[in-house]
Amino acid sequence: MPVISAKRMQDRRDSILAAAKQVFAEKGFEATSIADIARAAGISDGLAYRYFQGKRDLLNEVLRAFYERTMVDLEIIAGRDAPFETRLHDLIHRHLFAFVADADLCRLFISEVRTASDYQGSPVHELNRRYTSILVRIVEDGVANGEVRGDIDIRLVRDVIFGAIEHRSWAAVNGRPLDVDATARNLVELLRYGLVARPQTGSSR
């Protein structure tokens, strides 16, 4: 039997992952079979199992690639020598962009993966925790340097931001337009100023 080079093996693995991402996006996780993925990749079912344990393993790897690709950008944003508000805006903007750029994958995560009974404690759950911890770190930095109130509930801020992004982006993952720039700007302004009306500059009493 001829020896397959490491590059050839990696290329084949990448092609299977690309096929899995496509089929999961089209059919959803539950309705997808290894046979569907193998067919899309142009290989046999048996060959797919040589690279992955099953479709759950494939799903985890597809989502891991998504998370790690996005987290590279978020870590760069978090590490910048920039004001808190700038870093917060850029993180929110990048997260919104991820929903728009990978709408099918985000739809799959929201509708099937996160609601699954085995999500808690799963590799994908751990990836999500790492992902959201970058925002927590930015807010903690803001508290430490005096740009953010010291009595703020940081976990609540995290939940508000990611909850708002997900809710607003759900329309986008279902095909409706989302203005990423305006949404990021408005969300940061809402967090900064709250809901109470600000007095008009130069107004007289």
Residue with the two structure tokens 């990021």? 184
Q: Do domains 1-52 and 56-193 have the same CATH topology?
A: no
pLDDT higher than threshold 50 for residue 117: yes
Listed residue (181, 169, 163, 191) closest to 84, CA to CA: 191
Confidence at residue 11, expressed as pLDDT on a 0 to 100 scale? 87
pLDDT higher than threshold 60 for residue 183: yes
Of the options 1.10.260.30, 3.30.420.40, 1.10.10.10, 1.10.357.10, the CATH number for the domain spanning 56-193: 1.10.357.10
Q: Sorting pLDDT into bands at 50, 70 and 90, what band is 205?
A: very low
The model's pLDDT over 24-35, given as tens digits with 9 standing for 90+, comes to 988 888 899 999
Domain borders along the chain are: 1-52, 56-193
pLDDT higher than threshold 80 for residue 175: no
Q: Does domain 1-52 have CATH number 1.50.40.10?
A: no
| Mean pLDDT computed over 170-198 | 85
Q: What is the pTM of this model?
A: 0.82
Confidence at residue 202, expressed as pLDDT on a 0 to 100 scale? 60
The model's pLDDT over 44-86, given as tens digits with 9 standing for 90+, comes to 989 999 999 988 899 889 989 889 989 999 999 999 999 999 9
Alpha carbon distance 147, 199 (integer Å): 22
Alpha carbon distance 173, 112 (integer Å): 14
Token pair for 105:
């994958």
For 24-46, b where at least 16 C-beta lie within 10 A, e where not — what string?
Answer: bbeeebeebebebbbebbebeee
Q: Sorting pLDDT into bands at 50, 70 and 90, what band is 201?
A: low
